[in-house]
Amino acid sequence: MPPPLLLLQDIHVTFGNTALLDGAELSVTAGERLCLVGRNGSGKSTLLKIAAGLIEADGGTRFAQPGATIRYLPQEPSLGGYTDTHAYVESGLMPGDDPARAYYLLGKLGLNGAEKPEHLSGGEARRAALARTLAPKPDILLLDEATNHLDLRAIEWLEGELKSLKSALVLISHDRRFLENLSRATVWLDRGETRRLEQSFAAFEPWRDQVLEQEEIERHKLDRKITMEEDWLRYGVSARRKRNQNRLARLHALRRGRKEALKATGNVQMTVTESAEGGTRVIDAKGISKTFGDNTIVQNFSLRVHRSERVAIVGPNGAGKTTLLNMLTGKLDPDTGNVKIGVGVTMARLDQTRTVLEPDDTLANVLTGGRGDHILVGTEMKHVMTYMKDFLFVPQQARTPVKVLSGGERARLLLAKVLAQPSNLLVLDEPTNDLDLETLDLLEEMIDDYAGTVLVVSHDRDFLDRVATSVVMAEGDGKFIQYAGGYTDMLAQRGVGVEAKEARAEKAEPAASKPARPAAPAKRKMNFSDKHALEKLPGQIAALEKQIAELHDQLSVPGLYAKDPRKFGSLSQELADAQHEHAKNEERWLELEMLREEIENG
C-alpha cells in the first residue's frame, strides 16, 4: 500500500466536559476517494478542519507529506478582501495553472466572475468557494457539503468534474447519490471514534446497522440495561431503516397508478382522469402561466394532484420551481389559467428560506407555542418530550435555546413544528437541506406515513427516488412536464440527461413555428436482452430475498462479532452486496415492466 499523503492518528478534541473526538483517525493516500459520515454534531467538520491544518487537536498527531497540496471547502466561506468572485477564485490558482480555469469553473457554477462579495447570497458565496477549491487541481480535496446550494445540473457536473480529477477526495455530504457515485471507501465517525469500510457509501448503511445491532445484542447479553438517550437514538436507526425498506412496494404501486393516469390522457402535461382508487382532487391547475418582465417563468402548465400523491418539482436554480409551487398552493396568482384547491384542503408549509426561529426560545416552546407540555399532533395529544424523541431530540434538550442548535438540528426542529400542524397537504421547499442521513431516513418515513398529499421541491436525487410518485421537470423556457415515478424514472422516460435536454431546447426552432405541446419522445423498443431480463428478474429477486433473510439470521447469532470479527465482517459485506443487487434488480424490473406496459398499450 502506498504511503499516506495525509494521516491523522489518535485525534482528541474536547468541548467543555464533552469529548467530541476520542481517538479518531483518518488516512488518505494518493487518488483515494473517501466519504466521511456520521450524525449531525458528531465532529465531522471538526475532523476535516484538523485534516486541513486549520485548527489543532487537543491530542494526537497530524502528518502531511511535504509538498502535498491540500485544499479545503468550508461550509461558511469568507470572500473579504477580494474585488469580485473572479479575483477570489483566481487567487486559488498555483503557478503554472491555466488562468482560464477560473472562468470555466465559475461559469459551470452559475457565476460570471464580476459578482461583488458584499452582494453575494450564501449560496453564491458557497459556489465561488467551490470554484476556488477546485481551481488548482490539488493532491487532496477536503469538501464539506459541496452540493449545498447546487441544483441538479450543477451537482451532476460536479460529479463528472471530481471523477476526472486525479486528486484524492474526502467528502462530507447529506446527498446519498453523490456519495455513492464518488466514494470508494467510507469512514464512519461515531461517538468520537472512526471505523473504516473499504467500500463505497452504497454498502455503508447495511454495514452500520449490523454493527449497531450486534452492539445492542452484546450489551443486553452482559445484562447492562440501555438507559441513556444517546443509545436510544443510535440503536433506533436500524429499526427505522427496516420499516423504511417496507415502503418500496407501496411506492411502486402509487407510481404505477400515476403512470396509468398520465397514459390515459395522451398528454404528459396534464392528468384529466380520476385515480383508480377514486381519490379526491387536491389541486386542479389548468393552463397557468407566470411572467416577470420579459421572462416567462411558467408557460401554459396544467396539473391535477390527487389525494395521497407525492409530487416533486425539480429543475435548475432560477427555473421557476418555487414560483410554480406558490401558484399551485394559492400563494401566488397566475397571469393566465386558474388553480382550484380542493374542498377541505388544509395546508402545512416548510419554505425554502425556513421560518425564522427566535434565538432565545427553547426547543419545547417552539413546539408547544409556550402552551404547556403537550402538543396536538393530528388528532392525538402528545407530551412534548415524546414528540421530541420522534425527531431524534433527547429530553435534556427541551430547555435548550434555539441559538445553540446546529443547522441540522434547527432544520429538524422546523420539520417537527410543521408536521405537528393539522394538515392534509404538506408543502416542502428544499426540506433536505442540512439534514444528516438519519434525519433523512426519518423524513422519508414520515412522508410515507403521512395520510395526506405532499408537494416537494428538492435537488436530492436519492430522496426523490425514495418518496416521489411523480416528478414535474422544468424543461426550460417556462415549460414544465410531469413524469411518473422518481428521479431515475424521469431520466429514463426523457431519454436524455438533465443538461442535454436543455441544450437541445436552445438549438430548437422558435416556439412560434412549433405546436404548443412538446413533441413526445421517440418510442422505445424492447430487445431480446430486455425480454430475457424481464423473465429472469423475478426469480433472481426472490433468490436474493432468501439470501438476505439467511444472512440476517447468521448475523443475529449472539456473540458473533466478539467471537469472530472477520466472519462478521465477511457476512456483513455479503449482506450489503446482496441488498445492493436486490435494489438494483427491483429498479431494473420496474423499468422494464413499465416499458412492456407502454408497448402493449401503444
Query: Considering the domain boundaries, does residue 75 fall inside one?
Result: yes
Mean of the pLDDT values across residues 194-206? 93
Domain end residue (candidates: 481, 513, 545) = 513
**Confidence (pLDDT) at 352:** 60
d(CA 385, CA 395): 6
Shared domain for 54 and 186, answered yes or no, is yes
Shared domain for 470 and 568, answered yes or no, is no
Q: Coil, strand, or helix at residue 18?
A: strand
Share of the chain above pLDDT 90, in %: 37
Query: Considering the domain boundaries, does residue 519 fall inside one?
Result: no
Query: Considering the domain boundaries, does residue 360 fall inside one?
Result: no
Shared domain for 112 and 186, answered yes or no, is yes
Shared domain for 436 and 332, answered yes or no, is yes
Do residues 265 and 275 make contact, with C-beta atoms less than 8 angstroms apart?
Answer: no
Query: Considering the domain boundaries, does residue 371 fall inside one?
Result: no
Query: Considering the domain boundaries, does residue 520 fall inside one?
Result: no
Mean of the pLDDT values across residues 336-364? 83
Shared domain for 280 and 162, answered yes or no, is no
Shared domain for 303 and 191, answered yes or no, is no
Residue 150's pLDDT band (boundaries 50, 70, 90)? confident
Q: Coil, strand, or helix at residue 219?
A: helix
In the 8-state DSSP scheme, what is residue 421? S
**Confidence (pLDDT) at 420:** 83
The residue with cell 464539506 is: 144
Shared domain for 81 and 24, answered yes or no, is yes
Shared domain for 587 and 447, answered yes or no, is no
Across the chain, mean pLDDT equals: 81
287 versus 122: the higher-pLDDT residue is 287
C-alpha dihedral over 117, 119, 121, 127, to 10 degrees?
-30
Query: Considering the domain boundaries, does residue 590 fall inside one?
Result: yes
d(CA 21, CA 41): 11
CATH of the domain at 151: 3.40.50.300
**Confidence (pLDDT) at 517:** 42
Domain end residue (candidates: 446, 480, 513) = 513
Question: Which residues constitute the domain of residue 154?
Answer: 6-204
d(CA 204, CA 198): 10
Residue 168's pLDDT band (boundaries 50, 70, 90)? very high
Please state the pTM of the whole predicted model: 0.69
Shared domain for 559 and 504, answered yes or no, is no
Shared domain for 498 and 558, answered yes or no, is no
**Confidence (pLDDT) at 559:** 66
Instruction: Tell me how many domains the chain contains.
Output: 3
Query: Considering the domain boundaries, does residue 378 fall inside one?
Result: no
Domain end residue (candidates: 487, 513, 539) = 513
Kindly write down the DSSP assignment for every residue of 262-307, as one continuous string. HHHHT-TT---S--TT-PPEEEEEEEEEEEETTEEEEEEEEEEEET
Residues 6 or more apart whose CB falls under 8 angstroms from that of 24 comprise 8, 11, 12, 43, 47, 60, 189, 192, 193, 194
Shared domain for 500 and 544, answered yes or no, is no
pLDDT over 60 (residue 35): yes
Q: What would the pLDDT profile of 385-420 be if each residue is shown by its tens digit?
A: 888 888 878 888 888 888 888 777 887 888 888 888
Burial profile 454-467: b = 16 or more Cβ within 10 angstroms, e = fewer: bbbbbbbbbbbbbb
Taking CA 261 as the corner, what is the angle to CA 304 and CA 259, rounded to the nearest 5 degrees?
Answer: 110
Shared domain for 32 and 52, answered yes or no, is yes
**Confidence (pLDDT) at 221:** 56
Q: What would the pLDDT profile of 476-489 be if each residue is shown by its tens digit?
A: 889 999 998 888 88
Q: Quick one: three-class SS letters along 403-415? A: HHCCHHHHHHHHH
Q: What would the pLDDT profile of 440-484 be if each residue is shown by its tens digit?
A: 887 888 888 888 899 999 999 999 988 999 999 999 889 999 998
Do residues 408 and 436 make contact, with C-beta atoms less than 8 angstroms apart?
Answer: yes
Q: What would the pLDDT profile of 3-21 be if each residue is shown by its tens digit?
A: 899 999 999 999 877 789 9
Query: Considering the domain boundaries, does residue 383 fall inside one?
Result: no
Residue closest to 252 by CA, chosen among 445, 425, 448:
448
Residue 451's Cβ-count burial label (10 Å; 0-12, 13-18, 19+) is exposed
